[in-house]
Amino acid sequence: MKYEQELTYEALMEKLIFLSKKYEFLKLSYIGTSILSRPIPMITIGESDAKKSVLYVSTHHASENICTCTLVDFIEEYAKMYEDKRSVFGINLSVLYKMRRIHIIPMLNPDGVSYRLEGINDSNPLKERVEKLSNGCDFSHWNANARGVDLNHNYDAYFYDYKEIEKERGICEGASKYSGESPESEPETAALCRFIRYNIDTLCGILTLHSQGEEIYYKSNGTVSPKSELIAKTLSTMTDYKLAQAEDTASYGGLTDWFIKEFSKPSFTLECGKGENPLDIKNAPAIYARIRKALFNFPILF
């Protein structure tokens, strides 16, 4: 679908509430709340007694909010085609719905997105502190959450190794790269980890959307989960994104790293689109077109 502008948190909520009313089989829930008390929404599609499930997560990083649109487009297309009893890429959606649950979190970092799109509100108790961190009031490249923690460095994977790198490079709270006081110190990551642990018996794999680079990461510091290599190759064929290894600071404390390390299950990072973040929202339909085959097929690769 075409977007004239990025989705704000409020616009996302309006859309998800509208879709979950229009299609009663879409279940809207909340995994927790952000620092500034925004409930973090999740849509679940699929029978509750399905034996296998997968998780899609987008927008850990506020400047990569274009990927929120990608997951909203997927929810909408799935719902419409399922209602019409159609197949897509040879997948009968009535069967997919019965056999697999898909949990979709389109915007894990709503506070960061609101800083970027709307600036900082006078009633925000963190205003003074955050304005210092953001070089005045320029939030155009803000990636972190409301108090300057980069959520995709806040998971318990090589966290303390990364602390050494932070010290060496003088990385501290701010727009990006700061990992936080301890693993899962942030309510957004804590909520997501709680959800994952609670659902780990059925949860087979995770797909996390970031931008940009048209690449897929599936290893964590050289560690690969069983089955990952084959699934990664399939995703690469479907998207025409290259398989790559996260480099430098990108391989510490991320959701993909943690899920592989903690559970030895497959997890993938898709770096969507190409250009400089934040990507122009006009690229949203092209990004969705490029990865929709992978989004529909991912649940049946397990």
CA-CA distance, 279 to 68, in Å (whole number)? 12
What is the closest distance, in whole angstroms, from the C-beta atom of residue 133 to Zn ion in the complex?
A: 19
Contact code string over 43-82 relative to Zn ion, x by CB under 5 A: ------------------x--x------------------
Residue 39, both tokens: 């409930």
What is the closest distance, in whole angstroms, from the C-beta atom of residue 246 to Zn ion in the complex?
A: 11
3-state class (DSSP) for residue 69:
helix
When CB distances to Zn ion are compared, the closest residue is: 210
How big is the chain by its Cα radius of gyration, in Å? 18
- Binding of Zn ion at residue 163 (CB under 5 A)? no
Site for Zn ion in 212-271 (CB under 5 A): none
What is the closest distance, in whole angstroms, from the C-beta atom of residue 60 to Zn ion in the complex?
A: 6
- Given 3-state DSSP classes, what are the helix, strand and coil percentages for the chain, each rounded to the nearest 5? 45, 15, 40
Residue nearer to Zn ion on the CB measure, 79 or 291:
291
Residue nearer to Zn ion on the CB measure, 62 or 203:
62
Contact code string over 266-295 relative to Zn ion, x by CB under 5 A: ------------------------------
What is the closest distance, in whole angstroms, from the C-beta atom of residue 137 to Zn ion in the complex?
A: 23
CA-CA distance, 267 to 71, in Å (whole number)? 17
Residue nearer to Zn ion on the CB measure, 9 or 78:
9
Residue 190, both tokens: 């804590």
Residue count, binding to Zn ion (CB under 5 A): 3
Residue nearer to Zn ion on the CB measure, 153 or 210:
210
CA-CA distance, 199 to 256, in Å (whole number)? 16
- Binding of Zn ion at residue 153 (CB under 5 A)? no
Residue nearer to Zn ion on the CB measure, 20 or 256:
256
Task: Note whether 106 and 59 are within 8 A (CB).
Answer: yes
What is the closest distance, in whole angstroms, from the C-beta atom of residue 167 to Zn ion in the complex?
A: 23
User: Which residue carries 């019965």 as its tokens?
Assistant: 98
Residue 220, both tokens: 């964590």
Choose among 108, 96, 99, 105: nearest CA to 296. Answer: 96
Residue nearer to Zn ion on the CB measure, 53 or 212:
212
State the CB neighbour count (10 A cutoff) for residue 171: 18
- Binding of Zn ion at residue 210 (CB under 5 A)? yes
Residue nearer to Zn ion on the CB measure, 124 or 251:
251
CA-CA distance, 110 to 36, in Å (whole number)? 9
Chain residues in the site for Zn ion (CB under 5 A): 61, 64, 210
